[in-house]
Amino acid sequence: MGRKTRRQLLGQHFLHEKKILNKIIEAIQPGPRDLIIEIGPGQGALTFFLTEKAGQVLAIEKDYALVQALEKNQPENLEIIAGDVLKMDLRSVIRNYSLKPQTIKLAGNLPYHISSQILFLLLEVRDLIERAVFLFQKELAERITAAPGTKKYAPLSILLQNYFDCQTLFQVKPGAFRPPPKVDSTCLLFLTRDKPQYFPESHQEAFFNFLKNCFAQRRKTLSRNLETSGYRKEQVQEILTGLGLEWRIRAEALPPETLYSIYTLLKKPS
C-alpha cells in the first residue's frame, strides 16, 4: 500500500457542487452585520460565496498550502488564520475578530475524523453564536438529531439538543466532493436556543456522565446499567415505579426530561 497524501491524512474532501453550496449559503443566511467563521475552508468554494454577502468572514485552515492559495484572491472582508482549530481558544478568537453589535455564525465542511471534537467546540461557544451549519458523515448526523425510541438516540443527542434546535437540511452524495468520500454526508443546522431545553447548564458535566452510564450497554435495561455504575437496585426501581415506568425499560425509550428527573431523584440525599 502506498503512502497517504497530505490531503488523505487531513481527511480533506473538497465540496464543489454549486447547487449544494447555494443551499448551504441559504441555511447560513449571511448578512452585512454577520461574522461568519468557517472551519476548514479548503480551496475556498464556500468561502468566497460567503464574502459576497457577509460583513466579515474568518477562515481557519490547518493546511498551509491551502492558506497560501486562499491568500492569493483574498477580499478585504476575509481574514485567514493558519492553524488547527482544535488547538485554539475559539472563544478568544471570536472576541478578537468580532465587532459590536454583530451576529456570529459558524460553518464548515468538516473532515470526518474531527467531527465529534468540533461538536464539543460548538458547545463551548454556544453563547456567542446565533447558528451553525456543518456537513457531517450521515451516521453522525443521525445521532445528533435522533429522537427517543430510535437506535441512534444517545447522550450526544440529548446534550446537543439541550442547547440547539438541531435540524437535518439535506443529504449530500459523494459525487459532490473531490475526491469523493466513501459515505453519504448530511447538512445540519444548529440554531442556538434562548435557554437550555432539558437541563440547566450548571448540571451539564454531571448529567452527561450520568447519561453515559444510562446508555453504557444499550441491550441492557436502564436499571441494570445504573446498578452497574454504582446505584442501589432498590433505589433505582423505587424511582422508576414512582415515575410510572416499567423497571425493564431501556434508556433509549425515555425522553430527556424523564432521564433528567431520574438523575435529580437519584442525587437527592436518602
* Residue pLDDT, tens place only, 77-125: 999 999 999 999 999 999 999 888 899 999 999 888 899 999 999 999 9
Sheet holding 131-137, edge to edge: 78-82, 56-61, 34-39, 103-109, 131-137, 185-192, 164-172
More confident residue, 29 or 11: 29
Question: Against a cut of 0.75, is the pTM above it?
Answer: yes
- Give φ, ψ of 59 to 5 degrees: -105, 125
- Do 58 and 37 touch, CB atoms closer than 8 A? yes
Q: How far apart are CA 201 and CA 123, in angstroms?
A: 11
Tell how strand 164-172 and strand 177-178 pair up: unpaired
- Do 236 and 227 touch, CB atoms closer than 8 A? yes
pLDDT band at residue 6 using 50, 70 and 90 as cut-offs: very low
What is the model's pLDDT at position 2? 43
pLDDT band at residue 270 using 50, 70 and 90 as cut-offs: low
Closest among 233, 254, 252 to 243, alpha carbons compared:
254
Q: How far apart are CA 175 and CA 193, in angstroms?
A: 34
Q: pLDDT tens digit string along 177-192?
A: 999 999 999 999 999 9
Instruction: Give the architecture (CATH level 2) of 6-192.
Output: 3-Layer(aba) Sandwich (3.40)
Domain ranges of the chain: 6-192, 201-267
pLDDT band at residue 10 using 50, 70 and 90 as cut-offs: very low
Segment 222-233 mean pLDDT: 96
SS3 246: coil
- Do 100 and 150 touch, CB atoms closer than 8 A? no
What is the model's pLDDT at position 11? 52
Question: Is the per-residue pLDDT at 5 higher than 50?
Answer: no
Q: How far apart are CA 239 and CA 228, in angstroms?
A: 17
- Do 254 and 225 touch, CB atoms closer than 8 A? no
Segment 153-179 mean pLDDT: 97
Q: How far apart are CA 59 and CA 41, in angstroms?
A: 6
What is the model's pLDDT at position 100? 82
SS3 132: strand
Complete DSSP assignment for 45-91: TTHHHHHHHSSEEEEEES-HHHHHHHHHT--TTEEEEES-GGGS-HH
Cell numbers that stand for 50 in this block: 460567503
Instruction: Give the architecture (CATH level 2) of 201-267.
Output: Orthogonal Bundle (1.10)
Q: How far apart are CA 42 and CA 12, in angstroms?
A: 8
